[in-house]
Structures are given as structure tokens and as C-alpha cells.
Amino acid sequence: MRMQIIRTEYLMCAGDFPKSPDWESIHADIARSVQLINHVEQGHNCVESSGSSSLQKDLCPIWREAFVSELKSLGWQPNFHLADTLNIATPFDASWSVGNRHTCVELETGDIQHANATLCRMALGIVKGVIACAVLVVVHDAHRFEPQTTSVAFAQVANYLDLWRAVRVSEGLLVVISAGPSQVPAMDTLTLA
């Protein structure tokens, strides 16, 4: 079973970058990397535990490794730090240079505190003009987790999306992508007007 992008939410969408070929290429790289997550998982000998959340935590490093490895093969820089410019030590999973700014991407599997902290780092980078584009990818796997668990990750992040939509910038793109099994119907992309 392959993963796919189910939904793309544009939270900040200002300037020329969101309409550029650079964004189209970046989105295609992310979509390709999302599709490879389950290929690695299928070859991994996972033992399902009694709690779905512990299995999800066990698989998170496997999913992240597959995702980042594919991005790296496409020319992205893994474990990218912006400590000098943002004074934040936590790295992003991967980055792509866009002129003198960066596109940063982070993969998340449902830890709401981590997801919100990541959105804060991403938004700060966009506001300061260091990040051109930031993408948070939230992964779900309906066949491995109970239905309420698979929907909670994106739903929890979605509770805070209006906050990020309210932040106005002259240039920048902040995106949350929901990824899941290929048999889940893709939803329409929602765009910030």
C-alpha cells in the first residue's frame, strides 16, 4: 500500500513564490517522498503492540528516514539548522535553498505539541524572511491505527490553522499537508484567499 497526499492546506500564501515553478517542483518532491513511506514500512518487521500510539511512535523514525532519504536523493539537505538566524537549535527534517532563503519541511505523525512547535518555528522563519516556504507533513495510516487515532493527528493540528491564517506576510508560503493510504480519497486543496 502506498501513501499519497490527501489534503493540502495553505496557511500563509503571499507573494510570487506560491505561483512559481519552484513551488511546483518542491510539492512534487514532497509528494514523491510521501509515496515511499510505506515501501520501507512493508519491508520492516513491525510487531503491533496493544496501544496504537506506541506502534505509531515506533514507526515514526522509519517513516521519517524513508521520507528524508528520498528528499536527500532529490538534492535536499537533511537535518537543516537555522540556529544562527532564528536562534532555535531544533533542526528541520530537510531543506531546499531558494536563492538566499530556504524551503523547510518536517514530517509529523500526530504529536500535537511537536506539530505546533514546528509551525511556530516555520512561521517565525517566514516572518523574518529567512524561510520562503515551510511545509508540515502530517502522516496517517488507517490500516495500522484505530480510526479515531488516524483522524486525531490532522484534526488536532487543524484546530490551530486559523491562527496561522491570520498572520499576514508580504512574501511566504506556510503549508500543512495531510498524507495517508492511497485508498483514502484525496480532498480538495484549500487555499488562503
Average pLDDT over residues 70-87: 87
Q: 480519497: which residue's cell?
A: 185
Q: Sorting pLDDT into bands at 50, 70 and 90, what band is 186? A: low
Query: CA-CA distance, 34 to 169, in Å (whole number)?
Result: 28
Of the listed ranges 98-107, 143-152, 160-169, the least confidently predicted one is: 143-152
Q: Which residue in 63, 36, 58 sits closest to 47, CA to CA?
A: 58
| Domains of the chain, each with CATH number or no CATH | 3-181 (3.40.91.20)
Cα dihedral 57, 62, 64, 70, rounded to 10, equals -170
User: What is d(CA 122, CA 44) in angstroms, rounded to the nearest whole number?
Assistant: 32
The pTM of this model reads 0.80
Distance (Å, whole) CA 95 – CA 131: 10
Contact at 8 Å (CB) between 93 and 105? yes
Quote the CA–CA distance of 81 and 83 in Å, as a whole number.
6
